Amino acid sequence: MTDRRIVALAGGVGGAKLADGLARVLGDRLVVVVNTGDDFEHLGLHISPDLDTVMYTLAGIADPERGWGIRDESWTFMEQVSRLGGPDWFRLGDRDIATHAIRTYRLRAGDTLTAVTADLCRSLGISSQLLPMSDQPVRTKVHSGGLTLPFQDYFVRLRCEIPVERLSFDGDAAAHLNPLVEAMRGAETPEAIIICPSNPYLSVDPILSVPAMRGWIKDTGAPVIAVSPIVGGTAIKGPAAKIMQELGVQPSVTSVAAHYRGLIDGLVIDTIDDVHVADIQAMGIATNVTGTVMRSIEDRKTLAQSCLTFLKTLGSGIR
């Protein structure tokens, strides 16, 4: 029974929902390391889609239907961009741009993404700690038919319509661990590490591509679990199942287990997938079968609690 902190790794919507459930249970004991592989510059603004999704979700201002941006948003800026013949394929709401503008001018002034994110979170009343996976740029690229596409071109502009042959994370070799994760290394053992139900290829692999990240996770000795984003052979949201097929991998919880094999001690899967328990346990990975689809705030908290209970069975001293 300790008050040690718990680290979650998260990408976009699904990851943000579980991170929110964990934040509601753990408050300032939660550290969320967020994917920045999707970050890009648009209209001169530095945009961090996953950081924003997690931040807006934990602040309770995320738009529940669109899956990105702020609720009750207005679009005056975007209308004027179209009128002026500017690029309007990536939509930015009037409130949302405030985040990007503040982030951009502070980064230009020499602040780190970690520092800017901390201040934005404080302004939004978030008590958990949100950390970009690295303060250096790591950029996810989609390789398809001889083309190399920046992530947003693939994801937003082409709506994931081309087949993914390979993914790479430009800049990964030169990136450093987030300085606050680096500070934890050796000095503090987290109680547990939870890989949220985000896309393993597009959201979690970029985080794991940062040198020393994978090693740090193993070296902590803390139990590590993942929550499968694949439920009943498909993804709740986003292109995870489609990409797995394109990469020649069967979209299933077993494939998710195989993907994280060697890194995780346990996998949380949905009740619909309980037929796969034996296959997963055969890999030396424990399983927790529960409802993993989060439709309400209550669902988020319930899944978070289920994860914490599961971690106790794996040796965590979580209170």
102 interacts with a copy of itself by CB under 8 A: yes
| Shortest distance (Å) from residue 61 CB to a copy of itself | 10
Say which residue the tokens 């692999």 belong to: 205
Q: Is 87 exposed, middle or buried (0-12, 13-18, 19+ CB in 10 A)?
A: exposed
- What is the smallest separation between the CB atom of 87 and a copy of itself, expressed in angstroms? 8
Cβ closer to a copy of itself: 86 or 215? 86
End-to-end CA distance of the chain: 5
Alpha-carbon span 12 to 202, nearest angstrom: 10
Distance, in Å, from the CA atom of 99 to the CA atom of 209, rounded to the nearest integer, reads 26
Residue with tokens 């939004």: 124
Q: What is the largest CA-CA distance in the chain?
A: 60
> Between 111 and 246, whose beta carbon lies closer to a copy of itself?
111
Alpha helices in 124-271 (DSSP H): 151-152, 179-184, 205-209, 213-219, 240-246, 253-260
Looking only at the bridges linking them, the beta strands covering 266-270 and 224-227 are parallel
Instruction: Please identify, using beta-carbon distances, which residue of 70 and 131 lies nearer to a copy of itself.
Output: 70
Exactly one of 35, 104, 288, 290 binds a copy of itself (CB under 8 A); that residue is 104
Site for a copy of itself in 55-74 (CB under 8 A): 70, 74
Question: Closest separation between CB of residue 198 and a copy of itself, Å?
Answer: 25
Among the listed residues 2, 66, 105, 234, the single contact to a copy of itself using CB under 8 A? 105
Could you say whether residue 25 binds a copy of itself (CB under 8 A)? no
Size of the site for a copy of itself (CB under 8 A): 33
10 Å CB burial of residue 316 (0-12, 13-18, 19+) is: buried
Out of 1, 3, 64, 84, point to the residue binding a copy of itself (CB under 8 A): 84
Q: Are 196 and 15 in contact (CB under 8 A)?
A: yes
Q: Do 310 and 225 touch, CB atoms closer than 8 A?
A: yes
Contact partners, residue 218, CB within 8 Å, separation at least 6? 224, 263
**Alpha-carbon span 307 to 319, nearest angstrom:** 13
Q: In terms of CB distance, is 102 or 247 closer to a copy of itself?
A: 102
Quick one: which of 65, 76, 187, 221 contacts a copy of itself (CB under 8 A)? Answer: 76
- When the beta carbons of 98 and 173 are compared against a copy of itself, the nearer one is 98
Contact in structure between 78 and 88 (CB atoms under 8 Å):
yes
Q: How far is the CB of 132 from a copy of itself (least distance, A)?
A: 17
Binding window for a copy of itself (CB under 8 A); candidates: 12-20, 120-128, 151-159, 220-228? 120-128
Show contacts with a copy of itself in window 30-49 (CB under 8 A): 41-46
Joined together, the tokens standing for residue 270 give: 């949905």
Q: Is 127 one of the binding residues for a copy of itself (CB under 8 A)?
A: no
Our CB check for a copy of itself shows the closer of 41 and 188 to be: 41
CB 128 within 8 A of CB 30: yes
85 binds a copy of itself (CB under 8 A): yes
Min. distance of Cβ 39 from a copy of itself in angstroms? 15
Residue 156 binds to a copy of itself (criterion: CB under 8 A): no
Q: How far is the CB of 119 from a copy of itself (least distance, A)?
A: 7
- The binding site for a copy of itself (CB under 8 A) comprises 41-46, 70, 74, 76-81, 83-86, 94-95, 97-99, 101-102, 104-105, 108, 119-120, 122-124
